[in-house]
Structures are given as structure tokens and as C-alpha cells.
Amino acid sequence: AQTVTQSQPEMSVQEAETVTLSCTYDTSESDYYLFWYKQPPSRQMILVIRQEAYKQQNATENRFSVNFQKAAKSFSLKISDSQLGDAAMYFCVYNTNAGKSTFGDGTTLTVKP
């Protein structure tokens, strides 16, 4: 079974600064997908970024980028130019091809004005 570990229960960042959220996972599969989802106070899960395991190139989406280290089974999220609207709980998620998800415990991000 897969496991996902987020070692930072809480993080804070100053507005306009950069923050990195950590995630490690364990799997015996070679083909899988990794995601970061954001859950604001509304509790709607919002897809932030996705990474296919077979791709070496790190995914980027505007101010969000990942550092994917497949051999180390590490998948960190970097948020640049942090904004107040980035405040949320962030989940690192591992997906199989069939869409079955394994979630990390989440990291609560606070953005200070």
C-alpha cells in the first residue's frame, strides 16, 4: 500500500515571499501520479498542480512549482510571491492509474500580510 507523509503540520509565510511544502511518499509502483490540492476554509478541494511520475520535468503552474525527485520519492511544492488567498490546507496526494487516491495529513499554510 502507498503512504504519503507531510512532515509540516503548519507553515507560515509573509505575503510576497516564497514557501516550500514538503511531501514524501512510498510506493512500489513505477507508474503513478502526484498532486497538490488546496482546501480553503470553504472546504472545496482545488487542484493546484499535478505531476506524472514518468515525466522528469518538474510541473509548474504560474506561481506554483514542484520539485519531483522520483528516486528519493519526494514531491515538494513551492509557492512563489505568496498571496493572502493562498492560505489554506494543502494536501499532497498520490494517485494510481485508476484514480484511487492516498492523501497526506495536510499542511496548514498561513499567509501573513
What residues make contact with another protein under the rule CB under 8 A?
33, 35, 37, 42-45, 47, 50, 89, 91, 95-101, 103-106, 108
Residue 96's identity, in one-letter code, is T
Which CB sits closer to another protein, 43 or 72? Answer: 43
Which CB sits closer to another protein, 48 or 111? Answer: 48
DSSP string, 25-86: EE-S-SS-EEEEEEE-TT---EEEEEEETT--SPPEETTEEEEEETTTTEEEEEE-S--GGG
- As measured in angstroms, the least distance from the Cβ of 47 to another protein is 7
The owner of cell 516564497 is 18
Which CB sits closer to another protein, 5 or 58? Answer: 5
- As measured in angstroms, the least distance from the Cβ of 89 to another protein is 8
- As measured in angstroms, the least distance from the Cβ of 33 to another protein is 4
φ/ψ (deg, to 5) at 85? -70, -5
